[in-house]
Structure 1
Amino acid sequence: MITQLDGFLLTRQWRDTNKGLELSFWLSTDQGPLRLVVESEQAVCFIRRSNQMSLPAHIQRKPLNLKSLDSDEMDGLYFRQQRDLNSLRDHLNYDKSQLFESEIKPTERYLMERFITASLTARGNITKKNGYLEIRQPQIKQGDYSPKLRWISLDIETHDLRGRLYSIAVSTANSHQIFMVKHPRQVAPRQDPALNVQWCHNEEVALQQFFNWVKDYDPDLILGWNVTGFDLAFIKWKCQQIKMPFALGRGKETATVLEPQTSGQIAVARVPGRIVLDGIACLKGAFWNFEHFELGFVAQQMLGDEKLISAEGNKLQEIRRQYLEDPLALARYNLQDCELVARIFEKADLINFSIERARMTGLAMDRQGGSTAAFDHLYLPQLHRKGYVAPDIGSMQNATSSPGGYVMNSMPGLYKNVLVLDFKSLYPSIIRTFKIDPFGLTIGLDEESSDKTIPGFLDAAFSKEHHILPDLVTQLWKDRDAAKKANNAPLSYAIKIIMNSFYGVLGSSGCRFFNPQLASSITRRGHEIIQQSASFIEQQGLSVIYGDTDSVFVHLDQEVSENQANDIGHQLAKKLNTYWQNELSKRFDIESNLEIEFETHYLRFLMPTIRGSEAGSKKRYAGVVRKKDQLAMVFKGLETVRSDWTQLAKVFQQELYRRIFHDEPYADYVREVSEKLTAGDYDDQLIYTKRLRRPLESYTSSQPPQVKAARKMKNPGRRIQYIITLNGPEPLENITAQPDYQHYQDKQLQPVADSILYFLDTSFERLTQRQMDVFGQ
């Protein structure tokens, strides 16, 4: 039966066979899971025609109508098996400039050359298999299918990292199941109908029942918390230990977990037909920030819920106790972890965000980061259509670096009425306006007439007419505007992230197009735009007190009402946009895509000095804004928003700043906090929380406080909580001395207070001196 189906790409794999490469793609469709199998494919890379190296007989070489970005003519190299390409690349690893696009995986090349990201239409002879559909040798094309993915949340409990399996819990949108291994001492396990516990005689039975349940429920997504690094890695190990298949994949395919080989790597799950989404990685990929990512902490912050077993005590000991003495309590804890993860995914809309990011970038849903790979997926097929191929990553041996975003020296002070004008997506708009592009640079440098090019930096020149990246950014910009109008927040955010990543990609040595001419032509143009904008504003009789990458901070010297300040902000933004339209037309004969917006009106604003200096700080400020008719405090880069300061400092800073910003008395408050600290009233707010960046035993010469505290713990992890006592740093589990209150006065209260009291001609020390000290008694 020949027909076609619309689907959403879940997983992709390839393998070498005697017939050539076999590509396998699993899709979610309205008719259920669909597997596409492509046989007899060839692996491909490129080589300069002038490079007539001796090649093995099984490598086919063909002249192609393609060029390198250096305008060298190119040949294609075709391999029956991917391992042959990999072998040649490894052999030439000493000179990465010899091969072109040799690192691209065959599945990625197959998809990108068809302009397929995630949604597609597949046509072919559909056959029914056991639980899924299959098309062999399909015809596929780009589609716009929106999936409805079926998910489960998974969590396991164990004796330790490589010990006995206690239980496996899974939850869905409307059901749950717990597979618990019965302890030999448990004669007749109690039941709780609400928990739905299935008691299993041993670990093998529990795993088999779990695999059967997954096969029957057939989810597209497996959610969890460190689910690959712990849960799936443990299950894989346990399956190996008891010699049973790791049967999580669709179509009777086994799963695997690729363990990290170095400290910088993370574990990767490969489950054919199912995507594994880790809550920690997904939150970080969507730019959620927390002091740390322990599940209980994130759940408390996002959902207001506490875990049944706290991570602060001896968590592992309590899990072991419950398994022996109260297994149903452990089942509740196990299930709660699943449900908390599912609720976090729902609260942050992480599934939809992951779907939209995959649709925009071509990256698999479970791949976090990957900006360079996403750039390749979008850019390379367009480059090939222009008749060019790209170099291998690492072949551009250029040590010149480009500057970062422009940060203006600030004018420290305590202000009223500060306006923030912000360039909307500055770097993407620079790419659009000045036609920054690897291909456009190649053409621009060959142009004989300067009228056809736009000058960049480091002697760069970009073609006005021939380019790829500016058009990609323009389309993404339109897509984002449409997503905003449709209230599709996940899509809008996914587009924003990919657009803003383009500069970072071009400035990274991990990008195959790495060239300082590209990155510098973005950042240095940004410097110029911020500096010229500041000059224009000051010509209007206003003061610019700070500038930061894509924003300028303007102080209104005169007394004005909120409405007047807002009017000035909107008028100023309009004038700046007009200025840049005229300026770029006059200088380069190009249209400006720069768009500055009036973003914020700070009723009160603090720009502190650098500690111990009279110079203004950078990327650190605070202020008061009006949000929905309510006054709200904003802190940027200060102690309140930093995880390495105590709760004492944070609470003190927020209240002190609030009083000063609202012109309320503050001196007595400063004295009161100082006195209460010494009296012990704030002992519960003195905890430092810091992470060990490397194993404890590796700290030999450097002994920071968290290391000293960790050495006093029985089983220290990476996250250390401690208090500075009269005996030095001590962990919470082993406090032997009174807190060192003078330390907290000097290192927590005083720096916070003096950062704002400096502008009121007073200080923490002056306010907290006793009266007899003032009179010299």
Structure 2
Amino acid sequence: TLCTAEVEKRVENSRVTCYTLKSIAQLDDTTYTQPTLLAFDIETYNPNKQMSDPAQHPIIQLSLYGAGFEKVITWKDVNGYGPSVEVVENEEELLKKFAQYVNVKQPDILTGYFSDGFDFPYILKRAQKHKIKLDINLDYTSPRFGRGNQSSVEMTGIIHLDILNFIRRVTRMNLKTDSLKLDAVAQELLGEKKNEIDIENLAEYWDNSDPKLAEFAKYCLKDSQLTYEITQMLMPNIVEFVKLISLPIADIVKMRFAQFVEWYLIKRAQEVNMLIPNKPGRTTLYERQGQHVEGAFVYEPKPGIYDDVVVFDFRSLYPSIIVAHNISPETLNAPSEHKEIVPGHPDMWFATDRDGFFSTILEEIMNRRGRIKAMMKTADEKKKKLLDARQYSLKILLNSFYGYLGFFGARWYSKECAAAVTAYGRYHIHQVINKAEAEGFKVIYSDTDSIFITLDGRTYEEAMDFVDRINAELPEMMELEPEGFYKTALFVSARGEEGGAKKRYALCDEQGNVIIKGFEAVRRNTSYIAKEVQTQVIKTLLRTKNTQEATSYLKEVIKNLREKKIPNEKLVIVTQLTKPIEDYASIGPHVAVARQMRQRGERVEPGSFIRYIVRPGKGKISDRVSVPELTPEGDYDAEYYIDNQVIPAVERIFEVFNIDVKQLADKRNQSSLQSFF
């Protein structure tokens, strides 16, 4: 933000002039959203396809990319290098040249992709091995590992930003991709991909001085380019969080949602001279972890297909409840003649004769976000992008407050406040359900903040009138909004139960657009073919209700699987590695593949998404899985995919229509499949 400051010049051993700050004041709301970026990436020597070890394996290529600048530094000359490639004597000179370019460019931000976890630590360890002072900090010192944490690298005067940290903690919730690898994220955010190359055999090409090293140089530079462009794209969002929470970028990008809330509360508490609670001690943390809060109400649906469905949502239900009912730790059970008793909790109330800390803050955030969204309607594209980043940061903060209240590590932890929020949520949703049924609407489903009703001969306008009457009775700040009208809706049964599965439904609007919630089609750990089949079956049944068309399609897929006509790329299963490989007591398919990847020198860590294909053979599944890249086309276990992926994905959907799809997959019925109906 643009500020005016009173300063005093000081003498420092620094590449830039330093000042002592005496006073500072904000001039206006102008935001510095385009700091100077310089992205970097390295390629390392990996003999016999093993994982590179900084103790013994050198860096053989290092790329840099910035505005109007691109460079690849390497120390083996071959034919075919482009003008951006600079060849030096050895790795030691490569590291010195890296430092030279950073010092000349003096970027505001040095950014990498997984640079906290790999690139920067590797560079520092190789510099230590060569006894090189990598003096790229503005005070002529070298970058350092974060205190007590070998997984972060800090700089002085320049921000080191591992953009993967921000993507992993904030951006990923809006990404469709299962993988957070640079290639997948770049493809979704930028529409670009990494260069395809045989990276596993880099060491072999290096040893043989193969001209193909020129292609590896392009590959390395492309990684830096993609990192630069992703960072540039996400910078407005990062800057908004910096402005909102008033902490450095290097801290912001590593924060989780609860930390956003806590540091924002600390900032606001200081503004009103409120005492800041201490962090909980170990004993308190242990006690809190055993405490639980009753959750939201769910009106379970009956499995079936429904016509003319209207869906309503409470706008920002939990934040609006906190504001409407003045929920805050210091108003909880506070002595007062004016208090509001929590529904279902006669011994719990909130004072209403004073404004709560939490409720005041949330009301300000909600109003501010509303004003920004209104401004977006008339803003030009450049301004709209900045405003969108601003409202998005407020949305993240707003929706994190309820979870923070019940987070065992929170300074302002209050199980009672968290319980009160969900109690009010249940109360308000029950009120809407009861009033809807009293007015003759049929309620088919409700969960947390939404309610689904069928018109059953009533008009859409009558449903809107009903919502208007509800809103007239709700407390200020609370509002029930129409989410959409759908011609058909499908609810399936829960596994092993008669009732409908929670959060598991599909909707089709008047234009034929289908929304799928909770099915395998929107989950990981499911092969692409299973997702594809499930999605197509759902769309067919919702749009046409033609069961014969849906079963014919399913039969054709089963036939193509057995004839190996389905391409390998559709058989890929993606599973996340949740802990270090060594910590797994049992070896599942994804762990087995992760081991294979590590043996080939690939980086595998907790949080990595492991892709694999199940191949034919006997024995455990984990003994016959491999990465897609090393699986010959058509070399997959068709029966595994039919019995364990495709059929389970559609079985409960067809149950709604009293169709047993297992018969379709039974080889004994193959001769009669064509006459199934």
- Measured against the shorter chain, the TM-score band is 0.7 to 0.9
Match of 2:70 in 1: 176
| Structure 1 contact 458–517 (Cα < 8 Å) conserved | no
| Structure 1 contact 235–246 (Cα < 8 Å) conserved | no
Counterparts of 2:40 and 2:539, CA distance in 1:
44
Match of 1:475 in 2: 364
Amino acid at match of 2:93: V
Counterparts of 1:272 and 1:132, CA distance in 2:
12
Match of 1:572 in 2: 466
Shift of 1:136: 1.4
Larger deviation, residues 241-250 vs 516-525: 241-250
Match of 2:651 in 1: 754
Match of 1:509 in 2: 408
Counterparts of 2:429 and 2:489, CA distance in 1:
21
The Cα offsets for residues 64-101 of structure 1, whole Å up to 9 and x where unpaired, read as xxxxxxxxxxxxxxxxxxxxxxxxxxxxxxxxxxxxxx
- 2:625 equivalent among 720, 730, 744: 730
Q: Which has the higher strand share?
A: 1
| Structure 1 contact 538–544 (Cα < 8 Å) conserved | yes
Counterparts of 1:521 and 1:676, CA distance in 2:
54
Match of 1:46 in 2: none
Match of 1:524 in 2: 423
| Structure 1 contact 570–597 (Cα < 8 Å) conserved | no
Match of 1:114 in 2: none
1:686 aligns with 2:571: yes
1:742 aligns with 2:639: yes
Q: Compared with structure 1, are the counterparts of its residues 212 and 280 closer, same or farther at alpha carbon in structure 2 (3 Å cutoff)?
A: same
Counterparts of 1:689 and 1:381, CA distance in 2:
41
Amino acid at match of 1:475: E
Counterparts of 1:428 and 1:244, CA distance in 2:
53
Counterparts of 2:322 and 2:272, CA distance in 1:
19
| Structure 1 contact 639–752 (Cα < 8 Å) conserved | yes
Counterparts of 1:693 and 1:378, CA distance in 2:
30
Aligned length: 621
Consecutive unaligned residues in structure 1, runs of 5 or more: 1-5, 8-119, 582-591
- 2:323 equivalent among 432, 449, 467: 432
1:486 aligns with 2:375: yes
Q: Compared with structure 1, are the counterparts of its residues 236 and 761 closer, same or farther at alpha carbon in structure 2 (3 Å cutoff)?
A: same
Shift of 1:376: 3.8
Match of 1:123 in 2: 6
Match of 1:225 in 2: 113
Larger deviation, residues 354-363 vs 267-276: 267-276
1:134 aligns with 2:29: no
Q: Compared with structure 1, are the counterparts of its residues 222 and 486 closer, same or farther at alpha carbon in structure 2 (3 Å cutoff)?
A: farther
Shift of 1:232: 1.2
Amino acid at match of 1:632: N
The Cα offsets for residues 229-249 of structure 1, whole Å up to 9 and x where unpaired, read as 111111121222222223232
Counterparts of 1:280 and 1:151, CA distance in 2:
15
SS at match of 2:501: coil
| Structure 1 contact 363–373 (Cα < 8 Å) conserved | no
Q: Compared with structure 1, are the counterparts of its residues 513 and 135 closer, same or farther at alpha carbon in structure 2 (3 Å cutoff)?
A: same
Query: Mapping of 1:386-397 within 5 angstroms?
Result: 388-395=274-281
Counterparts of 2:312 and 2:474, CA distance in 1:
14
| Structure 1 contact 712–730 (Cα < 8 Å) conserved | no
Counterparts of 2:466 and 2:133, CA distance in 1:
67
Shift of 1:342: 2.7
| Structure 1 contact 573–596 (Cα < 8 Å) conserved | yes
| Structure 2 contact 261–401 (Cα < 8 Å) conserved | yes
Match of 2:313 in 1: 422
Counterparts of 1:173 and 1:736, CA distance in 2:
42
| Structure 2 contact 566–634 (Cα < 8 Å) conserved | no
Shift of 1:150: 1.2
Larger deviation, residues 523-532 vs 330-339: 523-532
SS at match of 1:246: coil
Counterparts of 2:107 and 2:310, CA distance in 1:
50
Normalised by the length of structure 1, the TM-score is: 0.74
Query: Mapping of 1:287-298 within 5 angstroms?
Result: 287-289=173-175, 290-298=177-185
Q: Compared with structure 1, are the counterparts of its residues 452 and 534 closer, same or farther at alpha carbon in structure 2 (3 Å cutoff)?
A: closer
| Structure 2 contact 245–267 (Cα < 8 Å) conserved | no
Counterparts of 1:668 and 1:446, CA distance in 2:
69
| Structure 2 contact 512–543 (Cα < 8 Å) conserved | no
1:234 aligns with 2:119: no
Amino acid at match of 2:72: I
Match of 1:307 in 2: 194
Normalised by the length of structure 2, the TM-score is: 0.84
Shift of 1:495: 0.2
1:214 aligns with 2:102: yes
Counterparts of 1:168 and 1:670, CA distance in 2:
50
Which structure's relative contact order is higher, taking Cα pairs within 8 Å and 6+ residues apart? 2
Match of 1:282 in 2: 166
SS at match of 2:493: coil
Larger deviation, residues 507-516 vs 142-151: 142-151
Counterparts of 1:492 and 1:679, CA distance in 2:
52
SS at match of 2:132: coil
| Structure 1 contact 353–494 (Cα < 8 Å) conserved | yes
| Structure 1 contact 154–170 (Cα < 8 Å) conserved | yes
Q: Compared with structure 1, are the counterparts of its residues 459 and 252 closer, same or farther at alpha carbon in structure 2 (3 Å cutoff)?
A: farther
Match of 1:555 in 2: 454
Larger deviation, residues 402-411 vs 511-520: 402-411
Amino acid at match of 2:122: F
The Cα offsets for residues 141-169 of structure 1, whole Å up to 9 and x where unpaired, read as 45644113111221111112412011221
Amino acid at match of 1:641: V
Amino acid at match of 2:166: C
The Cα offsets for residues 525-581 of structure 1, whole Å up to 9 and x where unpaired, read as 1121222222222222112222222211222223x7xxx53x355333322211324
Q: Compared with structure 1, are the counterparts of its residues 646 and 364 closer, same or farther at alpha carbon in structure 2 (3 Å cutoff)?
A: same
Counterparts of 1:703 and 1:220, CA distance in 2:
45
Shift of 1:697: 4.4
Q: Compared with structure 1, are the counterparts of its residues 248 and 595 closer, same or farther at alpha carbon in structure 2 (3 Å cutoff)?
A: farther
Shift of 1:411: 2.5
Amino acid at match of 1:247: D
| Structure 2 contact 322–328 (Cα < 8 Å) conserved | yes
Counterparts of 1:634 and 1:495, CA distance in 2:
26
Shift of 1:708: 4.9
1:325 aligns with 2:210: yes
Counterparts of 2:472 and 2:255, CA distance in 1:
37
| Structure 1 contact 260–267 (Cα < 8 Å) conserved | no
Counterparts of 1:697 and 1:473, CA distance in 2:
44
Shift of 1:738: 5.7
Query: Mapping of 1:349-368 within 5 angstroms?
Result: 349-366=233-250, 367=252, 368=254
Counterparts of 1:363 and 1:624, CA distance in 2:
44
SS at match of 1:620: strand
1:677 aligns with 2:555: no
Match of 1:462 in 2: 350
Counterparts of 1:208 and 1:706, CA distance in 2:
40
Amino acid at match of 1:238: R
Counterparts of 1:737 and 1:670, CA distance in 2:
19
The Cα offsets for residues 11-69 of structure 1, whole Å up to 9 and x where unpaired, read as xxxxxxxxxxxxxxxxxxxxxxxxxxxxxxxxxxxxxxxxxxxxxxxxxxxxxxxxxxx
Shift of 1:498: 0.6
Counterparts of 1:393 and 1:681, CA distance in 2:
59
Amino acid at match of 1:122: A
Structure ID, larger Rg: 1
Counterparts of 1:386 and 1:298, CA distance in 2:
41
Counterparts of 2:295 and 2:255, CA distance in 1:
20
| Structure 2 contact 572–611 (Cα < 8 Å) conserved | no
Larger deviation, residues 464-473 vs 719-728: 719-728
Q: Compared with structure 1, are the counterparts of its residues 174 and 599 closer, same or farther at alpha carbon in structure 2 (3 Å cutoff)?
A: farther
Match of 2:444 in 1: 545
| Structure 1 contact 407–618 (Cα < 8 Å) conserved | yes
